[in-house]
Amino acid sequence: MFYAREQNKRKRWYRILTIGQKKLVLVGSVVAVLVVAFLSVVIFYSCRAMQYDLARVQGSSGGNMLYDAENQPISSLSNAVERPLCWQELPQHLIDAFVAREDENFFEHSGVVLTSVVRSVLRNITSMRYEQGASTITMQLTRNVFELRDKSMDRKLLEVVLAQRIERNFDKQTIMLQYLSRIYYGQNCYGVRAAAEHYFGKEVRELNLVECATLAGLVRAPSIFNPQHSMTNAMEVKAETLERMLECEMISEDECRAATQEPIRLVSGRKVDAAISSYASMWAQSELKVLEDVAGKGNGGLFIVSNLRLPLQQYLEKAVEAALTAVEDPRRYPDAWLALSGEDTADAEARRKSFVGMKRPEKLKVRGANNDLSGLLQSCVLVVDNRRGHKGEVLALVSGRSAVDGIDRWQTRLQPGRAAAPLLFSCACLPGGEEMHIVARDMLVTGKRLGYPVVRSFYDTLGLDCRYPGQDQADALYNGEFSMKKLDLARLLYDIQNKGRGYHLRLISAIWSCHRSLLYAYEPEKAPEYIRREGARAVAELPPFGVSEGFPVTLNETLPGHTGQFSMVLRENAVAVFVWMGFDDPDTEVAASGRMTNLLRRASMNLAREIYEAARTELRRERKQVAQEKSAQAQS
């Protein structure tokens, strides 16, 4: 019996050992599979990482460049290429601020903090989506240099391997310098040198603790923490950065407290955009500010493709100067205006003689060789595509006689006067009872029948940056004697002629990175009904619009308050041209001259008609070229 018990006991132990062997084999198999999988992943991503050229880490991507619709370069949107930063130029506070904010172990790790990566991977796996990153400064540099933009596990693993390659080939100083020189600081500033100059008017070496903390916080979200947009947000992120520097023992409590309380002092009296080589570049830069998040992906350089047609733009700039010169000296009547009357040469010659015979104001300043732009007669012209599928595209523009003055006159103000009649008449066409349908040819009569509250409420819904008169000056509101931007007037007239749809007048069609990655492409969408369709259609054929069957719609109005002349020529499914002529200062004697008014009335309309014909010719040439290319492809 004893022997039997011993045997049974031994069998139980063998059974236990046998189960343990199976488990051991199972665990070993799982581990082996994991190891093989891990090695396979490492080898796979290492091979992919080897395909990337590390020379790009220290390569300069250049500045932003504007191109026309056929990829012909127009102008640079950035300052001259910056000289490279050197380590000795960096204040210690600047290095500390970015290390504390972005990667406190930057000088110790080999490009990747493994625990952070594992935590990030587990978090993303459990949530079944990309929620959390684990980026070191080296990984951020990797992402910027090689444009690893998509949020996926594949991108993250490739980024990790590339970051380690960079760490093996470059020292920490080089990595930090390249990082600070590439990241986006908002306001079209790529690199810390441009940011220091733009925000504080300083060299990088001159930045103090407050300014360093501000820039380190700003890069997290340039559109949110920009001190020029929101000082409150900038102060908050500066304080957070200083707190992190204190926790990392980079500054003392006294330094942290003093810097937190100290205001952010931005430079004043400096031009925001120093690189203005044309009015087209000025307009493009203003659009880039709206596309702030896209611009931040450029890694120091963008290729901006516009809707501009370079031949038309070049023609426009010459035509504007010729028109203004003709006003200053009527004897220099432009030859292009002779062709505006078609085959009727007698009528064309009569128009020329009438214009040449007009007297110019005695005090009218003429442009001289010294390029003194002050007090000169000015003009701004806008050519907008009006074809289906292209509505709102800016084909060419001019905002004055020289971009050197840095003034975008489409953003300056005028009094619309009778040019605002279509808006008032659209208000009269709103539903609300039979008594509301009052479309009179006289603005004052229509306005009084509607009443100040109704008109003012309608104008407010348009969301314009206008300075409306109060109820005690209601007649001024009805007669269009209020202040509005020139561009807003052009856009409203354009929308009314397009059945009330609110089209955004846009210059940029696509944005590419310096390594040819598409960052942005405009996607046509159905424009919203900005002004009620029925009202817009009703007033689109009423004065002050000139409408004749078979001809484009025109408008030519002398503006109140001596604020100039405004003209329009527009055809459905063709182009729209808007022209303003006048003086920057409407209170001068020459601006109020009756002689000046007569000259402007003719010159402005002639210029609008000339540019309209030139734009149609350019679009016809473009269509013919496209057709020939398609035919050649079909034959091949």
Instruction: Give per-residue pLDDT as tens, 188-244.
Output: 788 898 889 889 999 999 999 999 999 999 998 888 898 988 899 999 999 999 999
Q: Assess whether 118 and 237 both reside in one domain.
A: yes
- For the segment 102-120, what is each residue's pLDDT rounded down to a tens digit? 999 999 988 887 766 555 5
Q: Which domain holds residue 16?
A: 1-51
Same domain, 20 and 125: no
Asked whether residue 151 is assigned to any structural domain, the reply reads yes
Question: Of 226, 252, 272, which residue sits at a domain end?
Answer: 272
Among 272, 299, 322, the domain-final residue is 272
Largest CA distance in the chain: 141
Residues 87 and 206 in one domain: yes
Same domain, 46 and 133: no
Query: Which of the listed residues 207, 237, 272 is the one where a domain comes to its end?
Result: 272
Q: Is residue 139 domain-resident?
A: yes
Q: Is residue 579 part of a domain?
A: no
Determine contact, residues 554/568, Cβ cutoff 8 Å: yes
Burial environment of residue 27 by CB neighbours within 10 A (0 to 12, 13 to 18, 19 or more): exposed
Residue (of 106, 254, 98, 125) closest to 180 by Cα position: 98
* 346 occurs within a structural domain: no
DSSP β-bridge partners for residue 306: 508
User: What is the Cα gyration radius of the chain?
Assistant: 33
Looking at the structure, do residues 45 and 100 belong to the same domain, yes or no?
no
Cβ count near 595 (within 10 Å): 14
Which of 296, 279, 258, 248 has the alpha carbon at shortest distance from 97? 248
Task: Print burial letters for 465-493: b (CB count within 10 Å at least 16), e (below 16).
Answer: ebebbeeeebebbbbbbbebbbbbbbbbb
Give dist(CA 583, CA 596) in Å, integer.
11
Q: What is the rounded CA–CA span in Å between residue 439 and residue 454?
A: 14
Q: Tell me: do 39 and 165 sit in the same domain.
A: no
Q: Are residues 137 and 214 in the same domain?
A: yes
The CATH number given to whatever domain includes residue 172 is 1.10.3810.10
pLDDT of residue 49: 73
- Tally of domains within the chain: 2
Beta bridge partners of 581: 379, 565
Tokens of residue 31, six digits: 């581990």
On whether both 103 and 2 belong to a single domain, the answer is no
Which residues in the chain show pLDDT less than 50? 1-2, 17, 80-81, 127-133, 269-276, 433-436
| Distance of alpha carbon 104 from alpha carbon 139, whole angstroms | 14
Compute CA distances 166 → 4, 121, 140, 386, whole Å: 70, 22, 12, 51
Task: Output the pLDDT for position 158.
Answer: 84
pLDDT for the residue 475? 96
Q: Are residues 106 and 220 in the same domain?
A: yes
Q: For residue 157, what pLDDT is reported?
A: 83
* Contacts for 361 with CB less than 8 Å, ≥ 6 apart: 590, 593, 595, 596
110 and 247 inside one domain: yes
d(CA 159, CA 136): 10
Alpha-carbon distance of 257 to 246, in angstroms, equals 10
Q: Is residue 345 part of a domain?
A: no
Q: Same domain for 249 and 115? A: yes
What per-residue string of b and e applies to 132-143 under the rule 16 or more CB within 10 Å gives b?
ebbbbbbbbbbb
Share the mean pLDDT of the chain. Answer: 85
Residue 316 is assigned to a structural domain of this protein: no
Would you call the peptide bond into 222 cis, given omega within 30 degrees of 0 as the criterion? no
Helical pair 486-496 and 421-428, crossing angle rounded to 10 deg: 50
Residue 564 inside a domain? The answer is no
Residue 14 lies in a domain: yes
In which region does residue 489 sit, left (phi positive, over 0), alpha (psi from -120 to 50) or beta (all else)? alpha
The confidence score (pLDDT) of residue 146 equals 80
Q: Say yes or no: 161 and 242 in one domain.
A: yes
DSSP bridge pairs for 483: 467
